[in-house]
Chains A and B, each alone.
Chain A
Amino acid sequence: MLLTRRQRVVAFEENIGDLPDAPPVPSKSDPGTAGVRSFTSKLLARNRLRGRAELLLLPDCIVSDLYCNVHLVPNLRESTVEGILESLAEEPRQVIGAWDEDRPFRWAVLDATLRPIAGHLEGKHSQIIILGMPADYCAECELWTERQDAALLAIVPVPVACLAWFVKRVPTQERTAFLLLSLTSSLALAVIQDRKIILFRQYEEDVEAANQELATLARQLSPEKEPYVCVWSWSSEEDPVYSEIRGFQLTGPVLQQIEGGDIVIHRQRTPSIATRSPIALLSRWLAQEFK
């Protein structure tokens, strides 16, 4: 949980999942134990803040709770974003061939740089990204936000937020970049070419499987050069992924360089705290993007 006020980080707390009335977690239908005061009001009071909070939820989903895939526009039956969304809402199999989910999903269509698009696709976009999340979870988030008397700005899954951050902030020149995301319960691999996402895959298996897939993709997509692999982990510098994947680690000093410094949290009566947690930096960047 990252709390900002006027572009300034006020607080950063980890492991908030066990707190009463904590934000909903995908695939965990736990209504939580709401006391007299809500999670957000306690948080604001603890940090001596007033007013109505604006919330940006970054859920870390398991593979089955997030659909994120790059689709080539010529392969799609519908030629407009609205048509795609309508077909997805009606029957996802009309757009996504292999779809075995019974739960209803909420859908979004973005361009290859993860910007929202609308209208006709032909002639404007060669490929699009379709995102989907379980509708129940989204509704749960909305209800939770209502209970908090706050405004929900968006529900951005961590891999999507991380991809957007990478595309916008990390210079890749003209190389084909392979970004491996180490999340709490899964791994995700994205391929970025000319600041456009051309491939996205999620893995429930171990790092080895992802590493093999990465090697195969590197041979296919970047045969002449050494593959430019970046690794991002939400947790810390000790993530075993860093040692198992040979790549450019987006951590510690690298993140500090990209983001122009650590996050410094100034506190009254206590010394200031500095953090370079990847998830904190990602959250701060996203909060700034939404301002």
Chain B
Amino acid sequence: MKNLFLSPERIIRRSYQRELVFRAVGLVVLVAGLLQLPVLFFACTTWQDYQARTDKQAQLVAAENELQNRLVAFKDTRQKLSQIQQWEPIIRGRLPCSAVLAAIEQTVPADAVLEKVALESSRYQALPVAGGTYRVPEVYTLSIQGSLRFGHAEELETFTNELKKHLPAGAQVVRSKLLEGPESLVPFLLVYAITPTGNYSPLGVQRIADPDRL
């Protein structure tokens, strides 16, 4: 009849106050519980970090979705820009003939007469663009035929070098040669190989603005 009509709380309290075994077990449970505190703290902080990371991830996913939605509106523009970018090597491969002629005009010696100026393209590269394929030349050959007044043959070298300076970077002198002719005039042949680089500042072509970095 022990503990008859006593509440369980009262029995437990009395046992803890009076019974050594119960107190020892209680002590072990308390110590074990205290030992769990660092683990609980670590678990709590880990859980909070996980929650924060999850929240951040959700926010980033939402932002990504929003950006994707915004990007849909720019799809047409992106397509057009892509098409424009396809034209970049075509435009870069072009050579401004008027600027070449202006450079010749500026550098030709006063004692020289030009008979023929020819600009020929060669070594074509096929570049696909919307609507077809473009053949873009990789090398331009500039041929100049003319005559120098007798006694001024040495001006050919000056003319060759001066014109080379005005031509785009990468232009190579293929031939610079005096030919046989009448005594009063010395004919010459000058040939350049010009590789288009898109930089025509030596020709006097100024950049209007920095290109878009698309």
Chain A residues close to B by CB (< 8 Å) = 52, 106, 108, 110, 114-116, 131, 133, 138-139, 141-142, 151-156, 160-161, 164, 289-290
Partner among A142, A151, A156 whose Cβ is within 8 Å of the Cβ of B4: A156
Known: A106-B7, A154-B3. 17 other contacts (CB 8 A): A52-B18, A108-B4, A110-B1, A115-B1, A116-B2, A138-B5, A139-B7, A141-B5, A142-B6, A142-B10, A152-B10, A154-B1, A154-B2, A156-B4, A160-B4, A289-B1, A290-B2
Chain B residues close to A by CB (< 8 Å) = 1-7, 10, 14, 17-18
Q: CB-CB < 8 A to A131: which residues of B?
A: 4-5
The 9 lowest CB-CB distance pairs between A and B, nearest first, are A155-B5, A154-B4, A138-B5, A151-B14, A106-B5, A142-B10, A133-B5, A156-B4, A108-B4
A160/B7 contact (C-beta < 8 A), A151-B14, A152-B14 known: no
Q: CB-CB < 8 A to A138: which residues of B?
A: 5-7
Partner among A141, A152, A160 whose Cβ is within 8 Å of the Cβ of B1: A160
Q: CB-CB < 8 A to B14: which residues of A?
A: 151-152
A156/B1 contact (C-beta < 8 A), A151-B14, A151-B17, A151-B18 known: yes
* Overall SS of chain B's interface: loop
In contact, B1 and A114 (Cβ under 8 angstroms): yes
Q: CB-CB < 8 A to B7: which residues of A?
A: 106, 138-139, 142
Q: How far is the CA of A152 from the CA of B9 in the complex (A)?
A: 12
Q: CB-CB < 8 A to A116: which residues of B?
A: 1-2
Q: How far is the CA of A156 from the CA of B1 in the complex (A)?
A: 8
Q: CB-CB < 8 A to B4: which residues of A?
A: 108, 131, 154-156, 160
Partner among A52, A154, A161, A289 whose Cβ is within 8 Å of the Cβ of B5: A154
Q: How far is the CA of A160 from the CA of B4 in the complex (A)?
A: 11
Chain B: CB-nearest residue to A137: B5
Chain B: CB-nearest residue to A106: B5
9 inter-chain pairs at a CB distance below 8 angstroms, sorted by A residue, are: A106-B7, A114-B1, A131-B4, A139-B7, A152-B10, A153-B2, A153-B3, A154-B3, A160-B1
Q: CB-CB < 8 A to B18: which residues of A?
A: 52, 151
Q: CB-CB < 8 A to B10: which residues of A?
A: 142, 152
Q: How far is the CA of A110 from the CA of B4 in the complex (A)?
A: 10
In contact, B1 and A164 (Cβ under 8 angstroms): yes
